[in-house]
Chain A
Amino acid sequence: AQTVTQSQPEMSVQEAETVTLSCTYDTSESDYYLFWYKQPPSRQMILVIRQEAYKQQNATENRFSVNFQKAAKSFSLKISDSQLGDAAMYFCAYRSAFQNSGGSNYKLTFGKGTLLTVNP
């Protein structure tokens, strides 16, 4: 079974500064997807960024970028020019790229999350 570990329960950053959130995962599969989700205090989870394991290039979405190290099974999220609206719980998640015989296996496995505080 796959596991996702977020070793930082809480992080804080000054507005306009850069912060990196850590995530490691354990899998025996060679093809999979990795995600970072954001959960603001309103509780609705929002996709921040995703990475396909077969792609060597790190994904970027505006101020958000990842450092994907496949051999190390590491998938960190970097937030540049942090804004007050970035304050939220951030979850790292894993999804297999393989389908089982039932045509499913689309579930996400989440880490425990990192609570990010942005200080003005």
Chain B
Amino acid sequence: DTGVSQDPRHKITKRGQNVTFRCDPISEHNRLYWYRQTLGQGPEFLTYFQNEAQLEKSRLLSDRFSAERPKGSFSTLEIQRTEQGDSAMYLCASSLSRTGVSPLHFGNGTRLTVT
């Protein structure tokens, strides 16, 4: 178990540019989540995958945001035409589906700064 891996750790971009983040979940985990965390706030849910299917999306996920998990393993989160308000920590988490509640395992996050 190598944990949830996110790349890059930090990303600085200019307003209007596109950025893409990658998340590699724990290998046997079939559920994958994206959260966004701004300074002084708790994480806010963005979207959730079970295997390759995107089953839930938050209203926070505007048309500029898109997430994929093409083979049910790693996932990417793309932000098009970035805005300064997109500056945040983007957290990925994974879990295993089973009876009862399965705890989420979080990655270290990708910190995005839009200048």
Contact = CB atoms under 8 A, between A and B. Distances in A.
A112 B55 contact: no
Q: How large is the interface on A (under 10, 10 to 19, 20 to 34, 35 or more residues)?
A: 20 to 34
Contacts, number: 62
A93 B67 CA distance: 24
A42 interface: yes
A109 B91 CA distance: 14
B45 A91 contact: no
Contact of A33 (B56, B89, B101, B106): B101
A108 B103 CA distance: 10
B107 A107 contact: no
Interface residues of B, number: 26
Interface stretch (B11-19, B21-29, B36-44, B78-86): B36-44
Contact of A103 (B45, B55, B95, B107): B55
B22 to A, nearest CB: 17
B50 interface: yes
A107 B103 contact: no
B48 A104 contact: yes
